[in-house]
Structure 1
Amino acid sequence: MGEAGSVLMAAVGDLSMHSLPAAALPAPDAWSLASDVWVVADLLILIGFLLALLATFALAVVHGRDHWKYVSIFFAGAALSCGCGLIIVQLGLIRASGLPLFLLQCAAGLFAMISVLTLWPALAGAAATPNRSSARHNAPLEPGLPLRTGPGGPLSLEDALSGIGATMFARGEDLSERWSTALPGEMVGDAALPSTSFAATLKERISASFSSAFSRKEAVATNFQIEDARGNPRWYELTVQPGVFTDGQRGAVGCLFDVTRFRQPEAECRSLLQEATHRAKNLLTVIQSVVRMSAKTLNLPPATIEPFNARLQSVALAYDLLVREEWEGVALPDLLRSQLGHALGGAVSRASWSGPPLRLRPSAVQTLALAFHELAVKAEAQGALSLPEGSLRVWWETVSLKDGSEGYRLVWQETGGPAPDQTAERKTFSRDILERLTPRGLRGEVSSAYTEEGFRWEVRFPATNILPTN
């Protein structure tokens, strides 16, 4: 094979390119990646591994209980250390191969599995920890407890509602009060609250909702937050239903429900989620910096790492959308607008999309975000958007899949592009994302072809990737 061939085989065997002369490196191409494409693929997998471990670590620290908390934290930290070591090896900062690399991979996987397994009993301990408010509400009733006479008769409705922070009331069309149970402050026996601005604000909200129900002649539901007499935030849900009383007079009945004990844990979970996402985005930024410094050290051209950095930014944009929607799902048009706007810049004005309203599940959001990014980069580099007259249209519709189940079809159609370049159709990491990773992530099927209009990419996926419509 000659001296050059021997050097090349030795470099491939060691998973390193340090011994190759600069002239032996392949020239950068818009649709081909250098020999370190598999390093980039491994880095993306490791990034997902580290993000999952980071979430496990955060959950154990914040919500863990008993000794399981510390066991989960210890093994999550050990797995994170092993994962960082694997990233360093993949970046070529430390050379490792053979048995040491295999042992490091096994240790990372084993520690991660133990951390996840010990997280469940730690969180179960947190759920089993009683709080004072629940203990007070769940206290058994004493036999022979006297009941006040109220709107419900001898068995007072007020007594039934006081334990759950609810109030019911009825008013005439002129807002005159027909009957009412006690307001939340009165129900807990706090005589100071009715005379405070808290009670006044609460009564104003109730009157405004009754007026709105009478003027609209339909039920009104609202939720709001106010501060009580001690300055603590409290959340309420209020519903008002207009109608006619048994005496023939028009009026409405309403129900005010104190949902503070539900909203406070939600706020804590939302804060934790935002913190975990912030840390994940910081980790992405650190990885980008490490890649840039490594590229300078290895004298790699900037075009080698630009696709990698662009993909990281695409993942970060998808995370931003998920955090904004509290990880409940993202509307498909919002995902398209975000990814195409980032990849195409001003050329996004030549793209359009249409289809029925769909909200993607978080797993589908991350999968389609990378697919849209790769398609947009290809369209701008050598597709329809590389020419002034080119355009792009994306649409989706409901279809029946091969097994007869309900699914969806999404089509990416470019129009007015140049003739297909057959030399650009060789295997690349971008094609791997579109043809292998996307159908695997969506549990669907992908096809692509050059039609008379231009490049066409189509994916069919089951309805399990879509959130049900309320």
Structure 2
Amino acid sequence: MDSFTRLLDTHGMLPHGFCLLWQPGLLALHVISDLVIAAAYFSIPLAILAFVRRRTDLIAEHRRIAILFVLFILGCGLTHVMGIVVLWRPAYWTDGVIKGLTAAVSLITAIALWPVVPRLLAVPSPEQLANVNASLMAEVAARRTALEELGAVRANLEAEIQHRTAEVQALARRFQIATEGSVVTLFEQDEALRFTWLHNPRPPFTRAVLGRTGDECLSAEAQAVLRPLKEQVLASGEPLQAEVALPMDDHTGHFEIRVTPAAAADGSTGLLVAAVDISEQKRQQDHLQVILRELAHRSRNLLSMVDGIARQTAKAEGVPKEFSQRFGARLTALGQAYDLLISHDWRGVDLDTLARSQLAHLAPEAGDRLRIEGPSLDVGPETGQYLALAIHELATNAAKYGALSELGGQITLSWRRLEGPDGAPRIEVTWDETLDRPMSEAPAGRRRGFGRLLLEQLTPRAVKGQASLVFEPQAVRWHVGFPA
């Protein structure tokens, strides 16, 4: 009772009209606005209740939401009625309680409304139902049209399949004719490495391998070579190419094997293998190696004979011994170049290998005073011969008169690949020799002898390039550039 009395107690409070200074116009504005809003708020719940009563198909959840909205809107209407009351009577406690109740109902309504919104949105309206029905009718018509078009497409597709099948069969016949009797054997294996298809069989891959694994139809030695390659392709999914030697009945066969992952008919991963018999090619290569070794042997014999004739002639004619020594050393350098070229089947030689072969006799004594540096570059046979003679000539002069003599110094032999003025690739080779003190005796290279002729004219002419030879009191520099 005391609490209720306290709610009605207005002692010490002023009505809201004092805040508005009892201005008639302002009071009328507030009263009329609150009356109109309250009237609207009281009529809306009546409409909601009427709607709920007439819609008997509404579920309980929807009815609860409607009741909450009725209470919420009624509470809002009461707050506007109290807005009129407090203008003349300071019943602020009553006004606050009504607002608190309205706030509670508002919160409950908001919490209950959000979970229902998706389900309310899912309820189709009559217009939506009409639109859906029209869409279904249009879809039925479209499906009927699509079925007619699909029938036409099917007929065209069958004709295209027949045409493509004929093309594939023709291609298979051409493939059969092109590879029949060749040295290429093709076969497929499934994931268990069982042979499922074989074309143009050649030993050791005969018709007997079909339907069997390699372990069942090939020798253990052949399997030891082939199985790791196939397992690697199955594991990595990447194709692999290798040259293998397989033992045959009376000889060893050499094959170029290319193993490619391929999908089997059942969708599993299999292998497609192409085996090219290169046994005859290997035999020809071995025969060529024998010929090249014989050529190298005879070339060395010929160079030895020339060296012997030159020594005997020089001795008989009274030519200085130094000539015989230099001539023999040049023949030795040429012989070393020949050996390198023959070991590479006369296709060319790596510059680093060539340089180190010509400077090998100086390397132990020179130590870190001799530097050889440059990328891996191959030069042709003729270029290799002349570069070998040029490097030998420079090394001989360095040992007698230059950086590797008692004068001391440093030698750097380097090369690089770069783009020439015309955009074509070039190779530049540089011999850079520096001495600790000036040379007391002019090197042989300063004379117009064979050494200088070789460095300035013969070598650049042979390599189709340009060369320069510079002598300074404490340096010797030779540079040659030529097309790569």
TM bucket (normalised to shorter chain) is: 0.5 to 0.7
Q: Secondary structure at the match of 1:357?
A: coil
Identify which of 415, 425, 431 aligns with 1:412.
431
- Distance of aligned partners of 1:351 and 1:186 in 2 relative to their CA distance in 1, 3 Å threshold: closer
Contact 1:243 1:251 in 2 (8 A): yes
- Paired letter, 1:213: V
**Partner deviation per Cα, 1:100-153 (whole Å, 9 max, x = no partner):** xxxxxxxxxxxxxxxxxxxxxxxxxxxxxxxxxxxxxxxxxxxxxxxxxxx999
Contact 2:185 2:200 in 1 (8 A): yes
In structure 1, what is the Cα distance between the partners aligned to 2:228 and 2:174? Answer: 27
Q: Which residue of 1 aligns with 2:193?
A: 175
Percent of aligned pairs sharing the same letter: 29
TM-score, normalisation: structure 2: 0.57
Give 1:280 shift: 1.3
Q: Which residue of 2 aligns with 1:256?
A: 275
**Partner deviation per Cα, 1:282-329 (whole Å, 9 max, x = no partner):** 111112222223333334443221000000000000011011111111
Give 1:404 shift: 5.1
Contact 2:402 2:408 in 1 (8 A): no
Q: Which residue of 2 aligns with 1:448?
A: 469
Larger Cα-atom Rg:
2
Identify which of 227, 236, 239 aligns with 1:219.
239
- Distance of aligned partners of 1:189 and 1:286 in 2 relative to their CA distance in 1, 3 Å threshold: farther
Q: Which residue of 2 aligns with 1:106?
A: none
Aligned ranges for residues 38-117 of structure 1 at < 5 Å? Answer: none
Q: Which residue of 2 aligns with 1:434?
A: 455
- Distance of aligned partners of 1:417 and 1:158 in 2 relative to their CA distance in 1, 3 Å threshold: farther
- Distance of aligned partners of 1:448 and 1:341 in 2 relative to their CA distance in 1, 3 Å threshold: same
Aligned ranges for residues 131-280 of structure 1 at < 5 Å? Answer: 155=173, 161-181=179-199, 183-185=201-203, 201-231=221-251, 233-245=252-264, 247-280=266-299
Q: Which residue of 2 aligns with 1:331?
A: 350
Higher RCO (Cα < 8 Å, 6 or more apart): 1
Is 1:297 matched with 2:316?
yes
Contact 2:208 2:217 in 1 (8 A): no
Contact 1:383 1:417 in 2 (8 A): no
Q: Secondary structure at the match of 2:309?
A: helix
In structure 2, what is the Cα distance between the partners aligned to 1:229 and 1:198? Answer: 11
- Distance of aligned partners of 1:454 and 1:173 in 2 relative to their CA distance in 1, 3 Å threshold: farther
In structure 1, what is the Cα distance between the partners aligned to 2:376 and 2:408? Answer: 29
Q: Secondary structure at the match of 1:279?
A: helix
- Paired letter, 2:186: M
- Paired letter, 1:214: L
In structure 1, what is the Cα distance between the partners aligned to 2:440 and 2:424? Answer: 37
Q: Which residue of 2 aligns with 1:74?
A: none
Give 1:406 shift: 2.8
Contact 1:344 1:380 in 2 (8 A): no
Contact 1:393 1:413 in 2 (8 A): yes
TM-score, normalisation: structure 1: 0.58
Give 1:157 shift: 6.1
Q: Which residue of 2 aligns with 1:373?
A: 392
Q: Which residue of 1 aligns with 2:482?
A: 461
Q: Which residue of 2 aligns with 1:34?
A: none
- Distance of aligned partners of 1:431 and 1:355 in 2 relative to their CA distance in 1, 3 Å threshold: same
Indicate the larger mover: 285-294 or 425-434. Answer: 285-294
The answer for unaligned runs of 5 or more in structure 1 is 1-150, 464-470
Q: Which residue of 2 aligns with 1:319?
A: 338
Q: Secondary structure at the match of 1:385?
A: coil
In structure 2, what is the Cα distance between the partners aligned to 1:236 and 1:437? Answer: 45
Contact 2:470 2:476 in 1 (8 A): yes
Contact 1:387 1:417 in 2 (8 A): no
How many residues align? The count is 310
Contact 1:387 1:418 in 2 (8 A): no
In structure 1, what is the Cα distance between the partners aligned to 2:268 and 2:216? Answer: 33
In structure 2, what is the Cα distance between the partners aligned to 1:398 and 1:161? Answer: 44
- Distance of aligned partners of 1:389 and 1:343 in 2 relative to their CA distance in 1, 3 Å threshold: closer
Contact 1:449 1:455 in 2 (8 A): yes
Indicate the larger mover: 176-185 or 425-434. Answer: 176-185
In structure 1, what is the Cα distance between the partners aligned to 2:187 and 2:271? Answer: 9
Contact 1:236 1:256 in 2 (8 A): yes
- Distance of aligned partners of 1:242 and 1:391 in 2 relative to their CA distance in 1, 3 Å threshold: farther
In structure 2, what is the Cα distance between the partners aligned to 1:404 and 1:166? Answer: 42
In structure 2, what is the Cα distance between the partners aligned to 1:427 and 1:310? Answer: 19
Give 1:458 shift: 0.7
- Distance of aligned partners of 1:340 and 1:197 in 2 relative to their CA distance in 1, 3 Å threshold: farther
Contact 1:225 1:234 in 2 (8 A): yes
Q: Which residue of 2 aligns with 1:125?
A: none
In structure 1, what is the Cα distance between the partners aligned to 2:206 and 2:365? Answer: 60
Contact 2:412 2:433 in 1 (8 A): yes
In structure 2, what is the Cα distance between the partners aligned to 1:346 and 1:178? Answer: 66
Indicate the larger mover: 199-208 or 254-263. Answer: 199-208
